[in-house]
Structure 1
Amino acid sequence: MFSWKRPGPAEWLVVGLGNPGPKYEWTRHNVGFLVIDQLADRENLPVQRLKHKALTNTALIGGKPVLLMKPTTYMNLSGEAVGEAARFYKIPPDRVLVISDDVSLPQGKLRVRRSGSAGGHNGLKNIIAHLGTDQFPRIKVGVGGKPHPDSDMADWVLSKFTGPDRQAMEAAIARAADAVTCLLSQGVDQAMARYNG
C-alpha cells in the first residue's frame, strides 16, 4: 500500500545484507536484500538511491521513519556502509536493524535477536567492527546448512534458490518483512516472542 505520510529524518537503519549485481540475485547470501525489497514493494518505494555506499530510500515502517539500506560494498565490507550511515544520522547501534542469512538455521526459520556475536557471518563481523559493538538487533533468516559436509560453504551460500526452495523462501521473506514491522512498532521482545519458534 502506498504511504502518503512523508517520513521525517531516519530514526532507524534497516539494513539487508547481500552482494550487489544480477549474478547474486536469489542466492542464499542475498536474503537480506530480498527482505528489503519486500518492504520497499509494500511501500511502493524503489531502494535505488546511492548514498552511504548503499542503495537506499526512506520509508515509514511500523510508524518509524527508517532508512532502508542494501550495501553496495559486497558482504564482507557491509560495515563500511552501516557505520557511515549510522554516524551521519546519529543513530545508536540499538536502532540499527540488520537482516541476514543464517546457515545454522533450517531453511525458512526466523530468529530475532537483540544482540550477539557474528556467528561466523562475515557481513555481521564487519558491521560489529565498524559500529564498535555487537549490541544491535538482527533478524536472521535460515537458509539451511550445506547439503554435504565436504561441500564448500562459499559455493553453498552463493547458490540460488530454485523450485520448491524458492517458494518456501518467498514465504519466509514475507514473514521476515512482517517481523521487521513488528520489531519497529512493538519492540524487540514482542518480535522475538512472535517470530522465534
Structure 2
Amino acid sequence: MKTGFKNNKWWFTMVELLVAILIFTLWWLSAYLLVYSAMSSSVKAKNEMIAWNLAREKIELVKNIRDTNWVRSLDWNRLDNWVVENPWSVPYLTWGYYKIENSFQLDDASRPSIKIIKMSPSFTETKNNILNPATIQDRTMLCLDDKWRYNYTCSPWEKPTKFYALLKVSPLVSTVAVDNAFRLDAIIYNYDRSFNKYVVSTIITDWKR
C-alpha cells in the first residue's frame, strides 16, 4: 500500500509540475506577444510619422521654388539655376517623376539650397523599380548623413534607410487640363516587413494668372 501511495504521489507531483510548466509557458508566450505587438506598433507609428513629414517636405520645396520665382520675376514653374540645383538642366517643372531635396547650402549663394532631378521618362512606379532601379537617376532610396538628414546621395559613409521618396507632377484635370496648374503627389515608400506607400497630394498654381 505504501509503495502504491508513493507512486501515486509521484505521478501527482509530475502532473503538477507539467501543469506549472504549461502555465508558465503560456504566460511567457502571452507576455512576449504583447511586447512584440507593442514594439511593432511603435515602429509602425515612427515610420508613418517620418514618411508623412518627408512627403510634406517635398511639397514645401516645390512651393518654395514657385514663390522664389515670383520674387525673381521668373515663370512660376521655372527651374532656374539660381533657385535650384538642376543637374539635368531641365528648364521647367513639367509632368513626370522627380527627386527633390534640400541640399542645405543656404550659406553659399553660388549653390542653391534646393536640388531637383527629373527621373527618366521610362520610369514606372512599381515595387521592382523602387527597390531595384535601372539607373542611378531613378534611385529613390534615402540615406542619413552624419547630421541625421535624409538625402539621395547615399555616400559610402552614410546610413541607408528603408525609405524611398519621389515626386509625381501631373496635369490638373477637371473636364480638361487646367493651364498654369499642376497636381503634386509626394510619394514615400517604406519597406520594413511590408511594402507601405504614403502619399500627400496638393495643387500648385501660378499666382500671377
TM-score, normalising length: structure 1: 0.26
More strand by share: 2
Higher relative contact order (CA 8 A, sep 6+): 1
Q: Indicate the structure with greater helix content.
A: 1
